[in-house]
A = this chain, B = another copy of it.
Amino acid sequence: MPYFDAASSAPLHPVARQALLAALDEGWADPSRLYREGRRARLLLDAAREAAAEAVGCRPDELIFTPSGTRAVHLGVSGAASARRRAGRRVVVSAVEHSSVLHAADRFALTEVPVDRLGRVSAAAFAGALGPDSSGEGAALACLQSANHETGTEQPVAEIAGVCREAGVPLLVDAAQSLAWGPVDGGWSLLAGSAHKWGGPAGVGLLAVRKGVRFAPQEPVDERESGRSAGFENLPAIVAAAASLRAVRAEAAGEAAGLRALVDRIRTRLPELVPDVEVVGDPVRRLPHIVTFSCLYVDGETLLHELDRAGFSVSSGSSCTSSTLTPSHVLRAMGVLSEGNVRVSLPLGTAAADVDRFLAVLPDLVSAVRARIGAPAGPVAAAGVEAGAEAGEPLVLDTLGRRCPIPVIELAKLLPRVPVGTTVTVLSDDEAARLDIPAWCEMRGQEYAGEHPAERGTAYLVRRVS
């Protein structure tokens, strides 16, 4: 039963399991105590810190363990941004950061740097955001992920670190998705990671703060972890986290080559096998194991359910699978199709046969979902003009109250029935429409003429041009 959601949580690495078991027996005591059980725990903690620091590329006294990657990000952002309050209140982030970064930065004044259609920030845009804003407010901190958790797109961290250094703004790198594959190059100031993303246990994050980086912990005093992360050390899990990071690094080069080839196979074959699919993210500068695609006229939750029934565990950035009713902010920032979205993230050791089986079952599943929902097939021009409207006379398509992917499907059904040159106004109160109507227009070669607020929801203007 292939599990293809390693980017959410990787199955426990055998080395992690082994180390955890050993540390349960040796490392349950308080490492701050002076008796033998405490000294033994302290030795384990020190050794784990050294191993983790070596893998991260920092000094052991620059690295602390936290209870999760989320906490590492929260503590890192609040500690670094608060320490530089006098330099400014703004925290500059890419628009595709993990929600933990966005929410932590949101406690300050958030400045989002847009990304291109592949999901990458540019050094120029980032540099522009680092200076004082129109009200003179400076930047306290910048945050950039090493690679994106939904698309695998790698960010130009070393380049952005240079830009930040130039501007005198510390850079926090969220390396949660990439630490398994190698250290993060470049002159970053802070770095956060999460053990269960690399095959370590839950309950462990890490935060590196380079010497000389100003840091002001914002939480109640606690002497543990250099006063930067409160609470009794989760020692067995920390030991397992460090041991497994070392282990996955030792396998990284071989695993990366294998998984990269499998993802390439998906990226290449998918558009051949499934009509109207958009594979998103950077095809080259990417993590080896993640690929994301969106399927036109597909309800993401239904597709995930069908894939689960077929034995494949994947996740989705579609709004239809989320309780928030909005599509993933990553897909939104990239401006790509969000409906029928699927993220495949392969764990270490994924068998080629499983990927082939995925490619074998997916086309029929997508067809079935589309058929059930009544999706139209083929380009707009192929369908005859049936509607009675005159050329140039505006038409209104009311999809209020309908959820993704219905508004796009209704549009796809209507447009062939209006004459070329007609502008259709689609009314929708579904957040996904903002993303998916323009994406549909691009895929179908039709003109997207913008949006404006309507009495209810939003009006999206689409002009038939072929």
Please determine whether B74 and A304 come into contact, CB atoms closer than 8 angstroms: no
The minimal Cβ–Cβ distance linking A342 to chain B, given in whole angstroms, is 12
Identify the closest chain B residue to A12 (Cβ): B28
A286 to B86, CA, bound (A): 50
A-B contacts, 22 of them at CB < 8 A, read A1-B36, A3-B37, A8-B33, A9-B28, A9-B232, A11-B28, A28-B196, A28-B202, A34-B308, A35-B314, A36-B308, A68-B230, A68-B234, A71-B231, A100-B222, A106-B221, A194-B232, A201-B234, A202-B234, A202-B237, A203-B203, A203-B237
Number of interface residues of A (CB under 8 A): 64
Please determine whether B232 and A68 come into contact, CB atoms closer than 8 angstroms: yes
A219 to B223, CA, bound (A): 21
Given known contacts A106-B220, A220-B100, A34 and B321 CB-to-CB distance under 8 angstroms: yes
Within residues 1 to 19 of chain A, which ones have a CB less than 8 A from any CB in chain B?
Answer: 1, 3, 5, 8-12, 17
State how many copies of this chain the complex holds: 2
Q: Which residues of A contact B (CB under 8 A)?
A: 1, 3, 5, 8-12, 17, 20-21, 24-25, 28-30, 33-38, 67-71, 74, 99-100, 103-104, 106-107, 194, 196, 201-203, 205, 219-223, 230-237, 301, 304-305, 307-308, 312-315, 321, 323
The minimal Cβ–Cβ distance linking A157 to chain B, given in whole angstroms, is 23
A36 to B107, CA, bound (A): 35
Please determine whether A70 and B5 come into contact, CB atoms closer than 8 angstroms: no
Please determine whether A33 and B196 come into contact, CB atoms closer than 8 angstroms: no
The minimal Cβ–Cβ distance linking A4 to chain B, given in whole angstroms, is 9
A223 / chain B contacts, CB cutoff of 8 Å: 323
Please determine whether B74 and A219 come into contact, CB atoms closer than 8 angstroms: yes
A201 / chain B contacts, CB cutoff of 8 Å: 24, 28, 234, 236
Which 5 pairs of residues, A with B, have the shortest CB-CB distance?
A67-B67, A68-B231, A203-B234, A35-B313, A103-B220
A321 to B315, CA, bound (A): 52
Picked from B99, B232, B315, the residue with its CB within 8 Å of the CB of A202 is B232
Please determine whether A100 and B230 come into contact, CB atoms closer than 8 angstroms: yes
A205 / chain B contacts, CB cutoff of 8 Å: 231
A30 / chain B contacts, CB cutoff of 8 Å: 5, 8-9
The minimal Cβ–Cβ distance linking A170 to chain B, given in whole angstroms, is 19
Picked from B24, B35, B74, B220, the residue with its CB within 8 Å of the CB of A5 is B35
A70 / chain B contacts, CB cutoff of 8 Å: 222, 230-232
A202 to B74, CA, bound (A): 21
